[in-house]
Every structure is written in C-alpha cells, then in structure tokens.
Chain A
Amino acid sequence: MLVLTPEEWNAVVLSLKVAAVATLASLGPGLLVAMLLARGRFPGRALLDGLVHLPLILPPVVTGYLLLLAFGRRGLAGSALAEIGIVFAFRWTGAALACAIMGFPLMVRAMRLSIEAVDRRLEQAAATLGARPLAVFLTVTLPLSLPGILAGAVLAFAKAMGEFGATITFVSNIPGETQTLPSAIYTLTQVPGGEAGALRLTLISVALSMAALLLSELLARRLGRRLGAG
C-alpha cells in the first residue's frame, strides 16, 4: 500500500526538482524587488507592488493562461526565447516558471518585511565606518534580514510543491515531464482504482510540507540565536 509506483515516484521527484529550481531562481529577483519595494523611492513603485502581488489574487488558471500567451510556442517571449534554445511550453522548466511566478508574491512579502525591520541606524553606522552602499547591503542589511529571506524561500518552496492551476494550464499534465505531485493526485482521482495512489501521494505531500516548515523553523531559531542574544 505504501510502495510508490514508478509513475508516482516520478511525480514526487519532478515536484521536488520543479520547486527547488523555482525557489532558487526566484531568490535573486525576489531580493531585488523586495529591496526596491522596501527602500526604493521611484515613480511606478505602487505599480510594481501591484504587479508582484497579482498572481496572489488572480485565479491561477488566468495566470497560467497569461503565461501560455506570453511564453507559449507562439507567444511573444516564448518565440524569442526559443531562438536561443530556451523553451518553457510543455516542459518541466515551464512548470518551474509557473511555480516561481505563483510563489513570488509570498517570497517578496516575507523578504520585504524583514528588510524593513532592519535598523537603518546600523546601516548609517556602517557607512560612517567606511562601508560603501554595496558593502553595507552585504554586511549589514543582508545578514540581518536573513531569517525573513529564509522564510520567504520556504514559503515559495511550499507554494511551488502545491501549485496546480497555473501549472496545468500552462504546461499541461504530461507524466514524467510536467506532471507534478498535485497534477498526479488530480489525475489519480479521475481514474477508477486510483484512490490508493492518490492517498499515498497525499500523505507524501503532507509530509514534505511539514518537513519544509519544521526545517525553516529550526533554521530561523538558529539564526535568531546568532543575531540576538549570544
């Protein structure tokens, strides 16, 4: 009962790969956008804020369809990227893109809050000690907002593990290529005799989410100890 079939195993591994790539690839842009939103004073800041949060409020199907329009084979970005060998449509990379977009608002939000919580007086002190703005960011802002950055990454990872609507709309449900855990569970619930497989994958899904949460809690506590009393 608890032994996974090769297809189910594929879905688990693919989901982990998609979620990991989506999270890692979002870290840089997420940090940049969080920094811009937390510290930037520029025209269009509200627009950027809205744009980042859009996937959170749009129906996932809409986000997926928009991705299909933009990054599909005939999409504006899709056809341009295809020329340099990057293809998203109906590939696992597309699933990662969809997951990254869906998790982005959660990641940026957590990062932004922790950057805003960094005492700017410490950054001023660092500047008077001779640190250039980039050095201030790397030695003060970044380490002090690490717990929030980590929380953002875990949230994005968890979101990616569970993303369904946008992924299935954008890259469909191809076993071994784009069939992630939620898609596999959905498929199993649609065929006769699939209940046992659906249940197995559901248990794995719950276990993975719990593990991610516990890990982030553990790391946050460690970081908290390092940053606070010691």
Chain B
Amino acid sequence: MSIDVDVALRRGAFALDVAFAAGAGLTALFGRSGSGKTTVIDLIAGLVRPDRGRIAAGGQTLLDTARGLDVPAHRRRVGTVFQEARLMPHLSVRQNLDYGRFFARGRDETTGLDAGAIVEILGIGHLLGRRPAGLSGGEAQRVAIGRALLSRPRLLLMDEPLAALDEARKAEILPCIERLRDEAGIPIVYVSHAVAEVARLASTVVVLEAGRVAASGPAEAVLRRADLTPLREGEAGALLDMVVATHDAVSGLTTLAGPAGRLFVPRLDRAPGSPVRVRVPARDVLVALAEPVGLSARNRLAGRVLALDPLGEAAVLVTIDCNGARLAARLTRASVRDLGLEPGRPVLAIIKSIDFDPQGVGTGQRPVEI
C-alpha cells in the first residue's frame, strides 16, 4: 500500500510543485503555514484540482491530468480529517459515524478494524447519543477521525487535526492516532507544523517549503537536519527509538535502552520492553572530548563525529554517530574550532535530561524506508 503524489498548481502568486511517495505507516507533511500542506491534502482528497499531476493510492490512479482522469472526491475513498472536525451539526454523533459507513456499504473493509474497535480506540462510545454542538474540541475531533475511518478509506488524510486544541486535548488524542497508525493498517498522511507531533508519530517525513518538497525520507534522518526552514528555530533534533528498560522507584527515573546506549528520563508509565521514541533537540546536546567531572547531566552517549554542517554565520550542526544511532548537536563555530572537532573524532554527547519533551515521547515505529 503506497501513495504517489506528483502535482503542480498555480493560484495567483502561490505556486505548488510537489512530488513525493509514501509507504505504510504515517507520513508527515511538515512545514510552516503557507507552505502548501493543506493544498496537498485537498488535492489528494479531490477537493482541489491541480493544473497538472498524477496521484495514485494503493495501485489505483486517482488523478492523471495527462490521461484526463480525475476521480471525483466521493469515489476516491480517501478518508479526510480536517483541522476543524466538520461534523454534521444536524446529526447526532452516532449518525455522523454512520454517515460515511452508509456510503461505504458494499465496499471491502480496509482498516482491519470493525466499528466497535474504532469506537473503543477513540474512546467515543459514551458520546454516541450526543449532538456535535455539545462536544468539546477533542471529542469532536475524535468523532471526526472515527467517521473518516468508518467510511472504509484506502488512505487517511489528517490536516493538522490537533492545531485547534489545547495541550491537554492533544495529549488525549495523540495516543489514539498512534494506535490507529499501528492497528488500522492503512497509510496515513498527517499534516503538521509542530515538530513534537511529527517526531512522535511519523515514520516518513516530507518537508514542504514554499510549495516545494525541501526534503523527504525516514523521520529520524529528516528531523536531524537543521538546514530546513521549519526546523531552524532550534527545533532540529535526533529521534532515538528505544525501549523502556527499568524503572527506578528511588530516583523516580526510567531507564531507556537503545543501540546508542542508556538514557535516563523522568518516570514514564510504560511497561518495561515497550518501545519509546524520544527526541533530542540539537540545541540541548553538548559535546565533550573526555568524560567531564562534576557535571549534573546524567545522560552521556559515546560516539564519533560523523559530519559538520555550517548553520548560518556562527553555528555548526555536528552529527554524531553513537553506535549506529545519530545524534545532532548545535554548537558555535568557536567551540568546534577550540575542540578541534572533525569527522571520525571520538566524542561524548551530553544530553540535558530535563529537556526531554514529554510531548515528544511516543511509541515509535521503526522508520520505514520509501
């Protein structure tokens, strides 16, 4: 199951020319507002027609301007979750969920999840009799996700589904999206401008910049790059896929283990052995040549300098290979010169553990190569 998108469109001063492919799992379309993310979603859903292009999903061509083919939105079977829930105000929650189901009757099941499982994962069973006007933003968005899934889509699009919600509501929906990504078995294209969400959810990341693809590839490789605009404000960072090793009741810390070594984070309520993905922002990584003495930071990973990439005038992004896992550190040019950093040099990466972002901790999937 894969998605192939290659589209171009011009609307006044805005030009979009985007090509990417995505496989199973969750593909994040990542970029600032105005970079064309939502337009790409509308194009895939069939709500906007491009000037030229080709879109295919799961081996089925949805659009091919060269052949004059344009499958209308209602026959594309592309489930779409919009930024606002867009529930039908005149229907109850149950009727909203049944809406897509009704039109999908006779189609093959695509998600491998029956209605009961979807309602359970989203935790919306107690809302069925309610009206959309009486729902909170988070509840409405969960119903909207359920409605899209129940229409038996071959592909699920999510256009910043959390953008309009506060942190508490986001925290309530993110685990649902993680479970759907792992259990629904259909590819998800997820639009976001929030690096924490992308880091937590994405297998593949496509970075959009001013209507063009600036980078695409496995999440851990793309999110380490500090030269991409959406990541510039100190947001670049490494993704480390680890597992929960032990919990220490005395210190209140959880130990995570991975190829790079061990990391200590504030207690995580996950069973030992469960996969966890953490994000280490490049600005929170220090580099030392030798084991420092009398330093409070407990998280130290040994590795070798892999590459040095200049970041503007004064900064350098240092990529460090820690036994196969890659860390990124944002240092000043002066520090790099003083330490004599060069590719191949053994170093110690020191991570300020307090900077582990709880929102950035998710049940990571192995990045999928496309």
Q: Which residues of A are at the interface with B, using a C-beta cutoff of 8 A?
A: 119, 121-122, 124-133, 135-136, 139-140, 143-144, 226-230
Interface string of B87-105 (1 = CB under 8 A from A): 0111000000001100110
Is the Cβ of B86 less than 8 Å from the Cβ of A230?
Answer: no
Nearest chain B CB to A142 CB, angstrom units: 10
Interface string of B59-88 (1 = CB under 8 A from A): 000000000000011111111101010101
Is the Cβ of B80 less than 8 Å from the Cβ of A228?
Answer: no
Interface string of B199-225 (1 = CB under 8 A from A): 000000000000000000000000000
> Which residue from chain A places its CB closest to the CB of B133 in the assembled complex?
A229
Q: Is the contact region of chain A dominated by helix, strand, or loop, or is it mixed?
A: helix
Rounded to whole angstroms, the CA-CA distance of A136 and B197 in the bound complex is 33
B-chain residues with CB within 8 Å of residue A133 when the two chains form the complex:
74
> Which residue from chain A places its CB closest to the CB of B99 in the assembled complex?
A129
A-chain residues with CB within 8 Å of residue B90 when the two chains form the complex:
143-144, 226-227
Rounded to whole angstroms, the CA-CA distance of A122 and B147 in the bound complex is 13
Decide yes or no whether B45 CB sits under 8 A from chain A: yes
A-chain residues with CB within 8 Å of residue B86 when the two chains form the complex:
119, 121-122, 124-125
Rounded to whole angstroms, the CA-CA distance of A122 and B96 in the bound complex is 12
Nearest chain A CB to B341 CB, angstrom units: 51
Of B80, B84, B89, which contacts A128 at CB under 8 A? B80
> Which residue from chain B places its CB closest to the CB of A129 in the assembled complex?
B100
Is the Cβ of B80 less than 8 Å from the Cβ of A125?
Answer: yes
Decide yes or no whether B22 CB sits under 8 A from chain A: no
Decide yes or no whether B47 CB sits under 8 A from chain A: yes
Is the Cβ of B103 less than 8 Å from the Cβ of A128?
Answer: no
Rounded to whole angstroms, the CA-CA distance of A139 and B78 in the bound complex is 20
B-chain residues with CB within 8 Å of residue A129 when the two chains form the complex:
74, 79, 99-100, 103-104, 147-148, 151
Is the Cβ of B88 less than 8 Å from the Cβ of A130?
Answer: no
With A130-B151, A227-B89 in contact, do A125 and B82 touch (Cβ < 8 Å)? Answer: yes
Rounded to whole angstroms, the CA-CA distance of A204 and B220 in the bound complex is 80
Decide yes or no whether B131 CB sits under 8 A from chain A: yes
Rounded to whole angstroms, the CA-CA distance of A119 and B89 in the bound complex is 10
Decide yes or no whether B134 CB sits under 8 A from chain A: yes
Q: List 21 A-B contacts (CB under 8 A).
A: A121-B84, A122-B86, A122-B89, A124-B45, A124-B73, A125-B82, A127-B46, A128-B76, A128-B151, A129-B100, A129-B151, A130-B75, A130-B103, A131-B74, A136-B74, A139-B88, A139-B99, A227-B90, A228-B89, A229-B131, A230-B134
B-chain residues with CB within 8 Å of residue A144 when the two chains form the complex:
89-90
B-chain residues with CB within 8 Å of residue A132 when the two chains form the complex:
74
A-chain residues with CB within 8 Å of residue B133 when the two chains form the complex:
228-230
> Which residue from chain B places its CB closest to the CB of A125 in the assembled complex?
B86
Rounded to whole angstroms, the CA-CA distance of A143 and B99 in the bound complex is 14
Rounded to whole angstroms, the CA-CA distance of A68 and B122 in the bound complex is 65
> Which residue from chain B places its CB closest to the CB of A119 in the assembled complex?
B86
Rounded to whole angstroms, the CA-CA distance of A126 and B82 in the bound complex is 12
A-chain residues with CB within 8 Å of residue B76 when the two chains form the complex:
128
Nearest chain B CB to A64 CB, angstrom units: 41
> Which residue from chain A places its CB closest to the CB of B47 in the assembled complex?
A124
B-chain residues with CB within 8 Å of residue A127 when the two chains form the complex:
46-47, 72-74
Rounded to whole angstroms, the CA-CA distance of A136 and B88 in the bound complex is 11
Rounded to whole angstroms, the CA-CA distance of A230 and B130 in the bound complex is 8
The 10 closest A-B pairs by CB, nearest first: A130-B103, A129-B100, A230-B131, A125-B86, A127-B73, A128-B80, A229-B133, A129-B151, A127-B74, A143-B90
Rounded to whole angstroms, the CA-CA distance of A140 and B46 in the bound complex is 19
A-chain residues with CB within 8 Å of residue B103 when the two chains form the complex:
129-131, 135
> Which residue from chain B places its CB closest to the CB of A127 in the assembled complex?
B73
Rounded to whole angstroms, the CA-CA distance of A229 and B151 in the bound complex is 26
A-chain residues with CB within 8 Å of residue B147 when the two chains form the complex:
129
Nearest chain B CB to A219 CB, angstrom units: 15
A-chain residues with CB within 8 Å of residue B104 when the two chains form the complex:
129-130
With A124-B47, A135-B103, A144-B89 in contact, do A130 and B131 touch (Cβ < 8 Å)? Answer: no
B-chain residues with CB within 8 Å of residue A136 when the two chains form the complex:
74
With A121-B82, A122-B86, A125-B86 in contact, do A130 and B134 touch (Cβ < 8 Å)? Answer: no
Interface string of B113-151 (1 = CB under 8 A from A): 000000000000000000101100000000000011001
> Which residue from chain B places its CB closest to the CB of A132 in the assembled complex?
B74
Nearest chain B CB to A143 CB, angstrom units: 5
Rounded to whole angstroms, the CA-CA distance of A154 and B46 in the bound complex is 39
A-chain residues with CB within 8 Å of residue B80 when the two chains form the complex:
125, 128
Is the Cβ of A130 less than 8 Å from the Cβ of B74?
Answer: yes
Nearest chain B CB to A217 CB, angstrom units: 20
Is the Cβ of B99 less than 8 Å from the Cβ of A128?
Answer: no
B-chain residues with CB within 8 Å of residue A121 when the two chains form the complex:
82, 84, 86
